[in-house]
Amino acid sequence: MLTREHDGGAAVERTASAGPGGDYEILPYLSLPIAYTQPAHLAALATLHGLATPAPAQARVLELGCASGGNIIPLAARFPGARFVGIDISQRQIADAGHRAEAIGLTNIEFRQADIGDLLKMQEQFDYVICHGVYSWVPAAVQDAILHVSSTCLAPDGIAAISYNVLPGWHQRTIIRDIMLHHAGKQGSPQLRVAKARAILGLLGQSAQITGSYGQLLRHEAAVLAQKPASYILGEFLATDNSPCTFQDFTGKAQRHGLAFLCEADLGVSAHELLTPPAHNNVAELSGGDPGMLEQYLDLFSGRSFRRSILVKSPRLKAAPATVNPQRMLPLHLSARLQMAPARDKEATYAFTDARGRSLSTRSPSVGRALDRLSAAFPATVPVRDLAGDGPDRSRVARALLDLTIQGRATVSALPLELGQPTDARPRVWQLARSEAAAGLPGVTSLRHVTVALPKVAKAVAVQFDGSRSQTAVTQWLAAAYESGALRMTEQDRQSGRSPGTLAAVTVTEVLQTLGDCAVLAPPSRRAK
C-alpha cells in the first residue's frame, strides 16, 4: 500500500509500514545495554559534582524510547528493589520487551506503547530518566516533549541522561546520510532501502580514484558502517528525521524546560581525548571561565559528533560546586583494566597500560599500589576509600584516581560490583546472561552492562554454569555432547586430533576465563557457600 506524506513541502510516495512505529515495526532497532545509562554510574557523576541522588538500587527509572528493552531489562534483573518503566512507539518492540521480561520472571518492570509526544500530562515521578538514541531522530515537537517529560517527571533530586548528535562534528556524516538517502530512495521495505544504502557506500568506499579529504571520509565511513547492523543504518541515516544541533542549542532548550547541564556521561572526553594540551589551553582561554562556553568550544575544536549529556533540575545546579573535588571520589567505587608494564621513565616506580594500550606511570608508591590493586581486581570494582587509604598520600591518590576517571581510563560507580571467579567451586553465570545464552542470542549482557559476544559452544557452556555444577561436571557434559553429536566440533578441532574429552577440558577452561574477564560470572550464592 502506498501512502502520501509531505517532505519539505513536496508530496512523495513511500511504502507504508504497519503500526505506529513505522519502519521499526518491520526492522526493529537492535536493543542492547548502554553502559553509561546505569543509575549507579549517573549517581556517581552527581556525587563527583557535589549532588546527592536517590539510591540506585531502589530507584524509579524511566526510559523514553526503550525499543525491546535491551537496556533496562538487564538493570531490572540486577536490581529487584528498583522499578523500571520503558516507553516506545513501536507496538512490536514493546511486545517483544514484555515477552522477554516475562520469560525471566521480572516483576519490577513495565512496558508501555506510546508516542512520547502524547506524554505531556504524565504525572509519575522518576529518579532517573534515560533517553538514548532518540532526541536527534524525531521531529522538533517530539524533542520538546522529551525535554518536557524529562523535566516534569524528574524527581527534585533526580538525574536525566539524553544523547544527541552534535554540530559541527556531525556535518561530515550528513554527507554520508545524503548519499544514502539519494540512492536508497523512499520506496520499498526498510531492508531493501538499507541494502541499497550499503551498496552505494560500499562502491564509493572502493573507489580509490576519489582523492583528498572527501575520498578519505567516504572510505572511512564505508569501513565503519560495514560492521554496523541494518537497524543502525536505518535509524541513523535513513530515518525521516535526523536533526543534529549545537551543544548551546540543546542546553538552551533544556533550560526553557527547567533542566540544567551538569556534565557529560564520559566526563572529560573532549578535553582529554580529542584535544592536545595546547589546543585545550586555547579553548579554556576562549571560554572565559564559562563552563557552558567551554563545552561549546570543545565541540568546535574537536569535531565531536555525539554527546551523552547529564541534566538536573535547574535549581539543583545552583547548589553544585563549580569544580570537581577529588575528595568526592572517596565514597565511590572504581574499576579499571590496567596491566603492569615496563617503565619507560627511569624515575617511574610503577608503569601500566590501559585497555586501549595507552601508557601511564607514577613515581608515587601509594598511587602505584592503588593502580596495581585496580588491575588485580578488574573487572570488579574497588572502594576508592580503600584505594586511597588513611595515610598522608590520601589526597594524592584520590586526585590520581579522579584524573584516571576523567581521562576515560577508569569507570566510576555509586555501587560496588562484586563478581564470581573462574576458580569458584561451582561457577555461576548470572541469571539474565544464562537466559540470553539459552535463547541463542548473539551476545549476553555482562554485569558491567555491556554486550559480550559468545560463539555457539560458549553459549551452551554458559547455560550449564548455574551455580550447581563444578567445572569438572560441565567438562564431562561437553565431552558427552561432542561424542553424541549434540554439539559439533569445528573443522579445526577435528583436524587437531584431540579427543572429545581433551577438547572439552580446554574449551570449558577458556570459556570460564572469558566469562570471568568479561564480568558475566556472579558471586557464589549464599546457599552454594
Name the CATH superfamily housing domain 35-167+244-319.
Answer: Vaccinia Virus protein VP39 (3.40.50.150)
Q: 3-class secondary structure for 455-519?
A: CHHHHHHHHHCECCCCHHHHHHHHHHHHHHCCCCCCHHHHHHCCCHHHHHHHHHHHHHHHHHHCC
Amino acid at 369: R
Q: Across the 529 residues of the chain, what is the mean pLDDT of every consecutive 10-residue run?
A: 30 44 75 95 95 96 96 97 96 94 96 92 94 94 96 96 96 92 91 92 83 88 89 88 94 96 80 60 79 87 92 86 86 95 71 90 92 96 96 94 92 97 96 95 94 94 96 96 88 79 94 97 71
Give ∠ CA 309-291-402 in degrees, rounded to 5.
70
pLDDT at 327: 94
330-413: CATH topology: Outer Surface Protein A; domain 3 (3.90.930)
CATH 3.90.930 domain range(s) in the chain: 330-413
The predicted model scores a pTM of 0.90
Q: Which residues contact 220 (CB under 8 A, 6 or more apart)?
A: none
Residues of the chain with CATH 3.40.50.150: 35-167+244-319
| pLDDT given for residue 339 in this prediction | 92
For residue 18, the 8-state DSSP code is S
Torsion of CA 423, 428, 433, 436, to 10 degrees: 110
pLDDT at 19: 65
Cα-Cα-Cα-Cα torsion 83, 165, 90, 438, nearest 10 degrees, comes to -60
Whose cell is 585496580? That residue is 374
Predicted pLDDT at 25: 78
Report the pLDDT value the prediction gives residue 268, as an integer from 0 to 100. 62
Three-class SS state of 289 = coil
Phi then psi dihedrals of residue 51, to 5 deg: -115, 135
Grid coordinates belonging to 213: 579529504
How many residues appear in the chain? 529
Q: How many CA atoms lie within 13 A of 148 on its CB side?
A: 14
Closest by CA to 44, choosing from 375, 417, 294, is 417
The edge-to-edge listing of strands for the beta sheet with 109-113 is 109-113, 83-88, 60-64, 126-131, 154-165, 306-313, 259-264
Q: Report pLDDT for 493.
A: 75
Kind and range of the H or E run holding 405: helix 394-406
Give the residue carrying C-alpha cell 522477554. 100
